[in-house]
Structure 1
Amino acid sequence: AESATGSAGAIKAIDKQSVHQICSGQVVLSLATAVKELVENSIDAGATNVYVKLKDNGTELVEVSDNGKGAAEQNFEGLTLKHHTSKLKDFSDFIHTFGFRGEALSSLCALSDLSVVTCHESTQIGARLVYDHDGRLTQRVPHPHQHGTTVTLQKLFFTLPVRHKEFQRNIKKEYPKIIFVLQSYCIISTGVRITCTNQMGQGKRTTVLCTSGSNSMRDNIGAVFGPKQLQSLIPFQQISPNESIKEDYGLGGVDVPKDLFR
């Protein structure tokens, strides 16, 4: 487009780094999205323990640790590359996992300082991996770690100054969204113990959320919202329609499936 003075600037392609940052900002929309992506990765890796550590409501640091399978050495480079994933062998894997575009870690690299400590289930010694904003592995050193992965994000959105300022200004609105997202995963993730702590400044670390790893969704609801909440819950029971109801709805002679809902 021509400027007000009438001189036309040449139309040029946006440089790759800016494109990566712009697109990443559209994948990771908020702190809650970042936490969601990391927690999903942990659960998809078969974790039974997921620990979310926040500092200053997540503005300074977000760390998600799990006891899942861990990352294999041949995947260290591809871990943070765009559209790379170890979860997809064939299309049906989209149904059996939380879904993915292979963009989360790549986008988080562009928006924060990202490091990973991981130890694959087949090895004894872990590795600490540091990535640059393009998702390239810049540092790799042996590091003791239990089987599983810890992803650490520092200063989310600081590579987008205007977005970062807005993010810090609105943290009081952002923080409850993280808790809401975590509550959802706490409820549906049976057999997974999820804990979230927050530390303000040099203050004490407080536990914000904690489930016990129960296999019952009812127990999870009690752990998240308190035992009082359980008193108002009504179990959902499926009862197949009897003959007269079938007739009313014109379903005579139709085989109605036993489990109508799942």
Structure 2
Amino acid sequence: MSTIHKLDETIVNQIAAGEVIERPANAVKELIENALDAGASRIEILTSGGGKTLLRVTDDGLGMEPADLPLAVSRHCTSKMDRDLTAIATLGFRGEALPSIGSVSRLTVRSRHRASETGSEIVVDGGTLSPPRPAAGNCGTMVEVTGLFLNVPARLKFLKSDRAEANAITEMVKRLAIPWPGVTFSLSGDDRSTLELPATGTNGDALGARVAQILGRDFRENAVEISAEKEGVRLAGLSSLPSFNRANSSHQFIYVNGRPVRDKQLVGALRGAYSDMLARDRHAVCALFLELDPRLVDVNVHPAKAEVRFRDPGLIRALIISAVRRALAEEGVRGSTSASEAMNSSFRPGGAPSYRREAPDAAAQLNGAVSTLVNRPQDYPSGFAEQRQACFSGVTQPSADARDGSLDTGAESHPLGAARAQVHENFIIAQTRESLIIVDQHAAHERLVFEALKNALADRCLPSQMLLVPEIVDLPVEDVDRLAAESETLARFGLEVERFGPGAIAVRATPAMLGEVDTQGLLRDLADDLSDGKGVLRVKDNIERMASSMACHGSVRSGRRMRPEEMNALLRQMERTPGSGTCNHGRPTFIELKLTDLERLFGRR
């Protein structure tokens, strides 16, 4: 007698629901995507009990005929795709959402097609389907979900509090609303305050206006426009200045062909773009939109449709990094308005700056070997001191041949103005025609030295230190193949390796800048990075961290008195250096106070 049997359809749908509908926010996502695919111009969401008690999504889209309703709540039935799984142009396509929801709740679908005068309704209660029946309703579709997961108590008890689930729904609605500025979204219920996102139109600035609704107008004031295209892949959107950042990545909105995704490749590329501009525990804010041929991206990776796979992930990563870095560089010297707003608030009674994060110690960001190099020069490898000094060539303290700006009003036309004073041997006060500039001399010069170091390192192969006896590292054959294939690139960074039999790599030299290296650990990490498509970024990252620490130790120190010509030279050099608005750790290098702000502080406005 066979022990294999076919699972009941309800059980199959409940299993699918475990992947598609992890929490109420996922159900909201699926229902909103259906509404958008149906051409809705207004979507209303009503919730209660964090979505566990009630979820109702109403739209004014195309609607459905009575004969469509039984198919809509049946597994793997969809109107959005026929046979071509490689060219998916809609948000939904799997035909799993409604039957999955109906298997773990009481699901009511009421719809009226635009061409019909009457509507119809169908109910699915815990997987049990009732026949459709006539029902009154406006054109469009209403989907109501009550008692989510009541018949799956194991899943229900793993949900968070009503407030947490309600907040997750709010974030999901915001994430879905951004790429659809022509659609009005309304979210309400007894477990939340009402969220209204009116349509911003379809003109050129509609998307920017929708982004401002979600991320706030201060984001637009502290962001740069991104626009780039390479080999048929287009990237557009807004990304924040380095000094405008957050403690987590929840404020990063990334879309692929209009689909919101949380893909580690894209998040990693964005972090790479800000790698030497932000502290490791800070995150940029962005709304980025990737557009490419649907055949070049696979969205059918997971039932939740939040992950994607690119045919050429290296192209996507390079496009994001280069586009963001170029936009920040072209922006020139520009500080975040959040820093000046925090300073203004500190002058008010009971006010306190919102930007109170201390910069992380540079040495603490490095591993033990690099810290040793920074703090114990006597332990540098042979010749390393000369190499380090060579990196600093051309990066001197501000020269004394610059004009004296203490009385020069012409310098006020420069973006950072003319230096007027130095206070507490650390802060430079400069004046432009419309504002007052306060510069942190150490943080500013640290960025200048770091950028010069990076340029010096990019122009030549990095020096290496030969090992007296090559170190043999045993690795899986596939890892050996990856490392051997990248040997020439690794050699540019000072790491010389070669194949040593089928399952080992011989390391003959390591980067001199890194001093003593855990060779086995480094090789294993490199092999892992190569398998993830990250190339030789680990070596590059270690080199850049070292350069950052060197820049910190080689910059104008706090407490040093500077002459007016030196201060002006520093200001002019900042204006010529990309990214000089922040130091290597993400702290602002200067704060700008507009003349109107100063007048307001003294009651003159």
Q: TM-score, normalised by structure 2?
A: 0.36
Determine whether 1:37 maps to 2:30. yes
2:171 is aligned to 180
After superposition, give the CA deviation of every residue in 1:73-111 in whole Å (9 maximum; x if it has no partner).
Answer: 221211111101111134279532014211000100001
Determine whether 1:236 maps to 2:226. yes
Structure 1 vs Structure 2: percent identity of aligned residues? 26
1:208 is aligned to 195
1:243 is aligned to none
Q: Is the 8 A contact 2:37 2:92 kept in 1?
A: no
Q: What CA distance in whole angstroms lies between the structure 2 residues aligned with 1:257 and 1:36?
A: 32
Q: 1:193 offset after TM fit, Å? A: 1.0
1:152 is aligned to 144
**SS at 1:180 equivalent:** helix
CA change 1:102–1:57 in 2 (3 A) is: same
Q: Is the 8 A contact 1:25 1:111 kept in 2?
A: no
AA at the equivalent of 1:227: R
**SS at 1:50 equivalent:** strand
After superposition, give the CA deviation of every residue in 1:170-226 in whole Å (9 maximum; x if it has no partner).
Answer: 4443332222221111111131111111213xxxx7313423243211111122233
Determine whether 1:227 maps to 2:217. yes
Q: What CA distance in whole angstroms lies between the structure 2 residues aligned with 1:102 and 1:259?
A: 29
1:251 is aligned to none
Which ranges of structure 1 fall in alignment gaps of 5 or more residues? Answer: 1-9, 241-255
Q: What CA distance in whole angstroms lies between the structure 1 residues aligned with 2:3 and 2:233?
A: 60
Q: 1:143 offset after TM fit, Å? A: 2.0
**SS at 1:77 equivalent:** helix
Q: What CA distance in whole angstroms lies between the structure 1 residues aligned with 2:232 and 2:70?
A: 49
AA at the equivalent of 2:144: T
Which of 158, 166, 169 is 1:166 aligned to?
Answer: 158
Q: Is the 8 A contact 2:81 2:88 kept in 1?
A: no
Q: What CA distance in whole angstroms lies between the structure 2 residues aligned with 1:223 and 1:93?
A: 34
Which of 6, 11, 14 is 1:18 aligned to?
Answer: 11
Q: Which protein is bigger by CA-based radius of gyration?
A: 2
Determine whether 1:141 maps to 2:133. yes
AA at the equivalent of 1:152: E
2:180 is aligned to 189
Which of 58, 62, 66 is 1:65 aligned to?
Answer: 58
Q: What CA distance in whole angstroms lies between the structure 2 residues aligned with 1:94 and 1:115?
A: 31
How many equivalent residue pairs? 231
Indicate the structure whose relative CO is greater, using CA pairs within 8 Å and at least 6 residues apart.
1
CA change 1:127–1:26 in 2 (3 A) is: same
Q: Is the 8 A contact 1:211 1:224 kept in 2?
A: no
After superposition, give the CA deviation of every residue in 1:26-69 in whole Å (9 maximum; x if it has no partner).
Answer: 22111111111000000000111111111122121011100000
Q: What CA distance in whole angstroms lies between the structure 2 residues aligned with 1:77 and 1:234?
A: 48
AA at the equivalent of 1:146: N
Q: Is the 8 A contact 2:51 2:165 kept in 1?
A: no
Q: Is the 8 A contact 2:69 2:132 kept in 1?
A: no
Q: What CA distance in whole angstroms lies between the structure 1 residues aligned with 2:72 and 2:232?
A: 44
Q: What CA distance in whole angstroms lies between the structure 2 residues aligned with 1:41 and 1:186?
A: 13
CA change 1:12–1:237 in 2 (3 A) is: closer
Q: CA RMSD in A?
A: 2.6
2:359 is aligned to none
AA at the equivalent of 1:33: N
AA at the equivalent of 1:212: A
CA change 1:12–1:93 in 2 (3 A) is: closer
5 Å-filtered alignment, 1:63-102, equals 63-91=56-84, 94-102=87-95
Stretch moving more, 70-79 or 105-114: 70-79
2:112 is aligned to 119
Stretch moving more, 64-73 or 216-225: 216-225
Q: 1:236 offset after TM fit, Å? A: 2.0
Q: Is the 8 A contact 1:214 1:220 kept in 2?
A: no
**SS at 1:188 equivalent:** coil
Q: What CA distance in whole angstroms lies between the structure 2 residues aligned with 1:14 and 1:258?
A: 46
Stretch moving more, 223-232 or 46-55: 223-232
**SS at 1:76 equivalent:** helix
AA at the equivalent of 2:111: T
CA change 1:173–1:260 in 2 (3 A) is: closer
AA at the equivalent of 2:16: C
Q: Is the 8 A contact 1:48 1:213 kept in 2?
A: no
Q: 1:234 offset after TM fit, Å? A: 1.8
Q: TM-score, normalised by structure 1?
A: 0.78
Q: 1:165 offset after TM fit, Å? A: 2.4
AA at the equivalent of 1:111: V
Q: What CA distance in whole angstroms lies between the structure 2 residues aligned with 1:258 and 1:217?
A: 22
CA change 1:258–1:186 in 2 (3 A) is: closer
1:131 is aligned to 124
1:249 is aligned to none
**SS at 1:118 equivalent:** strand
CA change 1:98–1:260 in 2 (3 A) is: closer
Q: Is the 8 A contact 2:62 2:114 kept in 1?
A: yes
CA change 1:39–1:75 in 2 (3 A) is: same
Q: What CA distance in whole angstroms lies between the structure 1 residues aligned with 2:136 and 2:99?
A: 25
Q: 1:15 offset after TM fit, Å? A: 4.7
**SS at 1:97 equivalent:** coil
